[in-house]
Copies of this chain bind each other. A is one copy, B any other.
Amino acid sequence: MELCAQNLDPFYPGSCRLRSGWDGIMLRIICLTFMQGSHETDYVHRILSDIKIPTPILAFHSRPLFAKSATIMNYVSTAVTPAISPFDHLGLTDVTAKLEDSILIVTLNRSRKLNGFSEKMSVDLVRVFQFGDQDDRVRVIVLTADPAAPAFCAGVDMEEVARGSSLLGRKEDSETEHRDPGGQVAMAIYNNRKITIVAVNGHASGAGLTALQLPFDFRFIWSGSKITMPFVRLGIAPESTSTYLLSRLIGEARAAAVLFSGAVMQPDSPVISNLYYQVLPNRTDVLPAALILARNISTNSSQTSISYSKGLLHHPGASIEEHHLLDSRAMKILGSGNDAAEGAKAFMQRRKPNFPDTLTKSLSPWYPWWKITDVRHPKSSKL
Binding site for B on A (CB under 8 A): 62, 158, 161-162, 168-169, 171, 173-180, 183-184, 186-187, 190-191, 195, 217-219, 231-257, 259-262, 270-271, 273-275, 277, 293, 296-297, 300-302, 304-306, 308-310, 312-317, 319-325, 327-344, 347-348, 353, 355, 357, 364, 366, 370-375
Residue among A238, A250, A338 with the most chain B CB within 10 A?
Answer: A238
Q: Which residue of B lies closest to A339 (CB)?
A: B235
Question: What residues of B have a CB within 8 angstroms of the CB of A240 in the complex?
Answer: 327
User: Could you tell me the distance in whole angstroms from the C-beta of A370 to the nearest C-beta in chain B?
Assistant: 8
Asked if residues B309 and A238 are in contact (CB atoms below 8 Å), the reply is yes
Q: Is the interface of A mostly helix, strand, loop or mixed?
A: helix
- The copy count of this chain in the complex is 3
Contacts A321-B187, A337-B235; A247 near B372 (Cβ below 8 A) = no
Can you report 20 residue pairs joining A to B where beta carbons are below 8 Å apart? A158-B344, A161-B344, A168-B332, A169-B328, A169-B335, A175-B333, A180-B328, A218-B256, A232-B302, A234-B302, A235-B305, A235-B337, A235-B342, A236-B334, A237-B327, A241-B324, A242-B327, A247-B316, A248-B251, A322-B373
* Bound Cα distance from A372 to B324, whole angstroms: 12
Asked if residues A260 and B312 are in contact (CB atoms below 8 Å), the reply is no
User: Could you tell me the distance in whole angstroms from the C-beta of A266 to the nearest C-beta in chain B?
Assistant: 16
User: Could you tell me the distance in whole angstroms from the C-beta of A253 to the nearest C-beta in chain B?
Assistant: 4
CB contact between A248 and one of B252, B274, B306 (< 8 Å): that residue: B252
Asked if residues B331 and A243 are in contact (CB atoms below 8 Å), the reply is no
* Bound Cα distance from A245 to B325, whole angstroms: 14
User: Could you tell me the distance in whole angstroms from the C-beta of A73 to the nearest C-beta in chain B?
Assistant: 22
User: Could you tell me the distance in whole angstroms from the C-beta of A366 to the nearest C-beta in chain B?
Assistant: 7
Question: What residues of B have a CB within 8 angstroms of the CB of A243 in the complex?
Answer: 309, 312-313, 316, 323, 327
Question: What residues of B have a CB within 8 angstroms of the CB of A315 in the complex?
Answer: 319
Asked if residues B260 and A297 are in contact (CB atoms below 8 Å), the reply is yes
